[in-house]
Amino acid sequence: MMDGAQYVESLRRRKPRVFYKGKRLEKPYDHPAIAPHVKTASVTYQLARDPRHAELMTATSHLTGEKVSRFTHLFWSVDDLVKKIEMLRLIGQETGTCFQRCVGLDGINALWSVTFEMDRKNGSDYHARFRKFLERLQRDDLMSAGAMTDPKGDRSLPPWKQPDPDVYVHIVERRADGIVIRGAKTHITGSVNSHEILVLPTLGLPPEGADWAVACAVPIDAPGLTVVFGRQTNDERKEEEGIDCGTSFGIVGGESTLIFEDVFVPTERVFMAGEGDFAGLLVDRFAAWHRANYGGCKAGNADVLVGATALLSEIHGTIGNAVVKDKLTEMIHLVETNFAGAIGSSALAKKLPAGNWLVDPLLANAVKQNITRFVYQIARLAHDLGGGILSTMPSDADFGSSEIGGLLKKYFTGKAGSSTDDKRKLVRYIEGMTSVSTLVEALHGAGSPQAQRIVMLRQGNLPEKARLAKKVLGIGES
Ligand code: SF4
């Protein structure tokens, strides 16, 4: 397994085509907009090398018997799923933000299970191909990004009826030695600093949409692939690199738009090419695992946020107030409710035909639905306790000014003995982790709220509930 520095070096050896704010970046991994996210992902490597965290961060590969990063491991038991959630909370606590690597982890588990079932029905050989790819991923400890969301164009039309068929990634050519794909994927977390992009379908497809049912692995520096790194709430501040940045780990996952301009994918990297009847299953499996994750990583992030809010309350001199304590308690309650749901969905997992285990989909979707509300509620409480300073504090440059810096330090002081710089750090961290980028990621990441409601209604089994009500109430007995 690589350590953090080796991971960063392994990225620097690759030459992806990356754009940011209109310019091509020659050294993307050293650019201040991207470097914080590389640093965060590197923590997933560094912690795996720390013996204190070996049980959570590593596992024994059932493919090779070797010790591997848990980020390349298949969920081979309930214990693996519970440990994953605990691992996500741990890394969330260490970084205070999104560490990106879980999308690929859930992607490999979805591909493992669905390629197995496709082959069983159709006699294809996708599973053996994917197994070889996964062995390499484990051996070389590579980071993979899961690229699922297409731009979607006119959302009232299916992919094959779009005026521009490229608004969904699709196969434009089938060759004896592989396929050629064209289109784009948007909001792809951690993709710029991943070694491999797992292209996954975004929805189930009927026979006429077969060309859009495509899953494959594309190296980040494949010819024809362009990465456009997205803007974030704090991107100018990242380039300033001072306290105003809030955190050296960045906020959310460093999302990019990926543009595939006739990218050739050799056969050994193709894991679905036209099997639209399995595309929906792939999406549902991936979504269930990833939605449960949010009860782990967001709990870890919120642990840091609650801690920062408590520390700021101490500096404000308000921590002893019963109302402040009650609001901090409410934040803790919201965090633990999410975590409990994620652990519960893992505890009730079921074994899939391919041998890996799937979280309980109803509970997993309930977790993510709660996240879409609770992260906002937690942010609101942090805003409430932090005060107006969260949106009006003068800049780092003003605090550093020889003319006015002293005055600002005098007037922004807190409780005796506290540091104004510490206060500013806390304010900026809370500001970043409750910003638009962070909140929107919590709302739409792993699927928008309505996507969870569709699954919850399906999984909630209303007819069975009606039957129970009839039985308890004696309805329809006579
Ligand atoms: Fe992982 Fe959470 Fe980021 Fe998703 S939002 S990639 S689960 S850290």
Rounded alpha-carbon distances, angstroms, from residue 239 to 15, 234, 243, 244: 22, 9, 11, 10
Query: For 424-445, what is the mean pLDDT?
Result: 94
Q: Is the pLDDT of residue 436 over 80?
A: yes
Q: How confident is the model at residue 188 (pLDDT cuts 50, 70, 90)?
A: very high
Q: Which atom of ligand 1 is nearest to the CA of 92?
A: 8
Q: Is the pLDDT of residue 7 over 90?
A: yes
Spatial separation of the C-alpha atoms in residues 478 and 473, rounded to whole Å: 12
Q: What is the chain's mean pLDDT, rounded?
A: 96
Q: Is the pLDDT of residue 164 over 90?
A: yes
CA–centroid distance, 175 to ligand 1, in Å, is 36
Q: Is the pLDDT of residue 413 over 90?
A: yes
Q: Kindly report the number of other CB atoms within 10 A of residue 474's CB atom.
A: 8
Residue 274: predicted pLDDT: 97
Residue 313: predicted pLDDT: 98
CA–centroid distance, 171 to ligand 1, in Å, is 29
Residue found by looking up tokens 């456009």 in the block = 228
Residue 234: predicted pLDDT: 82
* Mutate which of 99, 191, 303 for ligand 1 pocket (most atoms within 8 A of beta carbon): 99
Spatial separation of the C-alpha atoms in residues 181 and 225, rounded to whole Å: 10
Q: What is the pLDDT of residues 105-118, one digit of tens each?
A: 999 999 999 999 99
Q: Is the pLDDT of residue 138 over 90?
A: yes
Residue 253: predicted pLDDT: 86
In terms of Cβ atoms closer than 10 Å to its own Cβ (0-12, 13-18, 19+), residue 332 is middle
Query: For 367-380, what is the mean pLDDT?
Result: 96
DSSP category for residue 124: -
Query: For 229-242, what is the mean pLDDT?
Result: 86
Query: Ligand 1, atom 3: nearest CA belongs to which residue?
Result: 98
Put the strands of the sheet holding 214-219 in their side by side order. Answer: 144-147, 196-199, 214-219, 270-273
Query: Ligand 1, atom 7: nearest CA belongs to which residue?
Result: 293
Query: For 169-189, what is the mean pLDDT?
Result: 97
Spatial separation of the C-alpha atoms in residues 445 and 186, rounded to whole Å: 11
Query: For 28-47, what is the mean pLDDT?
Result: 96
Q: Is the pLDDT of residue 398 over 90?
A: yes
* Torsion 179-184-185-188 (CA) sign: positive
Residue 78: predicted pLDDT: 98
Between vectors from CA 40 to CA 19 and to CA 64, what angle results, nearest 5°? 100
* Mutate which of 103, 194, 291 for ligand 1 pocket (most atoms within 8 A of beta carbon): 103
Residue 236: predicted pLDDT: 87
Q: What is the pLDDT of residues 14-37, one digit of tens each?
A: 999 999 999 999 999 999 999 999
Residue 201: predicted pLDDT: 97
Spatial separation of the C-alpha atoms in residues 310 and 385, rounded to whole Å: 9
Residue 52: predicted pLDDT: 97
Q: Is the pLDDT of residue 477 over 90?
A: no
Residue 235: predicted pLDDT: 85
Q: Is the pLDDT of residue 241 over 80?
A: no
Spatial separation of the C-alpha atoms in residues 316 and 470, rounded to whole Å: 57
Q: What is the pLDDT of residues 85-106, one digit of tens each?
A: 999 999 999 999 999 999 999 9
Q: Which atom of ligand 1 is nearest to the CA of 297?
A: 2
Spatial separation of the C-alpha atoms in residues 163 and 157, rounded to whole Å: 9
Q: What is the pLDDT of residues 339-351, one digit of tens each?
A: 999 999 999 999 9
Spatial separation of the C-alpha atoms in residues 131 and 332, rounded to whole Å: 41
CA–centroid distance, 97 to ligand 1, in Å, is 9
More confident position, 405 or 247 = 405
CA–centroid distance, 197 to ligand 1, in Å, is 16
Residue found by looking up tokens 């496709």 in the block = 118
Q: Which atom of ligand 1 is nearest to the CA of 99?
A: 8
Q: Is the pLDDT of residue 382 over 80?
A: yes
Query: For 233-237, what is the mean pLDDT?
Result: 85
Pocket of ligand 1 from Cβ distances under 6 Å: 98-100, 102-103, 189, 253, 293-294, 297, 445
* Torsion 397-400-402-407 (CA) sign: positive
Query: For 441-458, what is the mean pLDDT?
Result: 93
Spatial separation of the C-alpha atoms in residues 348 and 178, rounded to whole Å: 39
Q: Is the pLDDT of residue 240 over 90?
A: no
Residue 238: predicted pLDDT: 87
Closest CA to 69 of 40, 104, 44: 44
